[in-house]
Amino acid sequence: MSVFKVGKATITRIEETYQAIYPVKELFPACTDDILKHHGSWLPPHYDATSGKIKLSVHSWLLQIDGRKILIDCCCGNHKPRPQRPWWNMLNEPYLDRLAAAGARPDEIDLVMCTHLHHDHLGWNTMQRDGKWVPTFPNARYVFSKLDFDHFKKVDEDPKTTPAEFGTFKECVVPVVDAGKADLVTGPHKLNEFIDIEPAGGHSPGHFVFKVDAGGGIKAMLTGDVFHHLLQVYYPDWNFPKNSDAEQAKRSRRKVFDELASTGAMVFPGHVGAPFAGYIEKDGSNFRPRF
């Protein structure tokens, strides 16, 4: 378990899976053998040279601050048929046990916040009870992007494109909204005295980052899928293939990197591998990670 202290906040990584998934040159076509060799000193935890695949983590962040327990992004979920994503198909992971070991049972979660509404960030939002999908965290308010909600609702209602996100929208978002437990917000939005929500669209239309003021001028930012891999810090124009707007995704990434570098905020991405969190620094006109 990876636990980070940031001012008054404790931020804990709750792992679902961590494995080599995508061939790096398929994911980032501009990547070359020379680039991999150049970055060879730090790549091994993030890249499996034998298979040529990058390692991606799927995890939640448990933010504990001022007595509140806040869960950011809810992974893929168990027992969900995802033949299109075989590495996440019919998972059976002890995710809730790991969450409890980190100090939070489902009924103790105060807020569930999703950076965006892709299937690998929603899975534990709900669970099946008596044949129905119900909120996993019964006492929590769920914070969703209204832009994303409207977008995926439209996708889900169109016979040509349904089901949205392999059915995850219907399973893991709609039941929460129908239960009256969701707040659909747009950004910028001040959630409370510690957390600001900022738009960072492109990977999805309403993708958010969550900025945390942890006291004493110490800050953190939870960035979801603004970037998936540390190679993108060096090459911020490299996009993950799945984007609603590729050019906007690049602009959002550079804007987030600029802010992280200028503020010194600790960054907590959605899929970056070990050690999972760190800092982004300026390197001339470019950027470099310090993880």
- pLDDT tens per residue across all 291 residues of the chain: 899 999 999 999 999 999 999 999 999 999 999 999 999 999 999 999 999 999 999 999 999 999 999 999 999 999 999 999 999 999 999 999 999 999 999 999 999 999 999 999 999 999 999 999 999 999 999 999 999 999 999 999 999 999 999 999 999 999 999 999 999 999 899 999 999 999 999 999 999 999 999 998 999 999 999 999 999 999 999 999 999 999 999 999 999 999 999 999 999 999 999 999 999 999 998 999 999
DSSP the chain: --EEEETTEEEEEEEEEEEEEEEHHHH-TT--HHHHHHTTTT-GGGEETTTTEEEEEEEEEEEEETTEEEEE---S-SS---TTSGGGTT----HHHHHHHTT--GGG--EEE-SS--GGGTGGGEEEETTEEEESSTT-EEEEEHHHHHHHHHHHH-TTTPSGGGGHHHHHTHHHHHTT-EEEE-SSEE-SSSEEEEE--SSSTT-EEEEEE-STT-EEEEEETS-SSTHHHHSTTPPPS--S-HHHHHHHHHHHHHHHHHH--EEEESS--TT--BEEEEETTEEEEE-
The confidence score (pLDDT) of residue 5 equals 97
pLDDT tens profile 251-275 = 999 999 999 999 999 999 999 999 9
C-alpha–C-alpha distance, residues 19 and 260, integer Å: 27
C-alpha–C-alpha distance, residues 119 and 135, integer Å: 16
Token look-up 């809730």 returns: 96
C-alpha–C-alpha distance, residues 44 and 54, integer Å: 9
pTM exceeding 0.85:
yes
Residue 225 C-beta-side C-alpha neighbours within 13 Å: 28
Q: What are phi and psi of 57, to 5 degrees?
A: -95, 140
Token look-up 């929500």 returns: 197
Task: Using alpha carbons, select from 3, 46, 6, 56 the residue that is nearest to residue 210.
Answer: 6
**Structurally, how many domains does the chain consist of?**
1
The confidence score (pLDDT) of residue 1 equals 86
| Single-letter residue type at 39 | H
Q: What is the CATH number of the domain that holds 240?
A: 3.60.15.10
C-alpha–C-alpha distance, residues 193 and 254, integer Å: 26
The confidence score (pLDDT) of residue 216 equals 87
Residues of the domain holding 9: 3-290
C-alpha–C-alpha distance, residues 166 and 20, integer Å: 22
Partners of 196 in the beta sheet?
190, 211
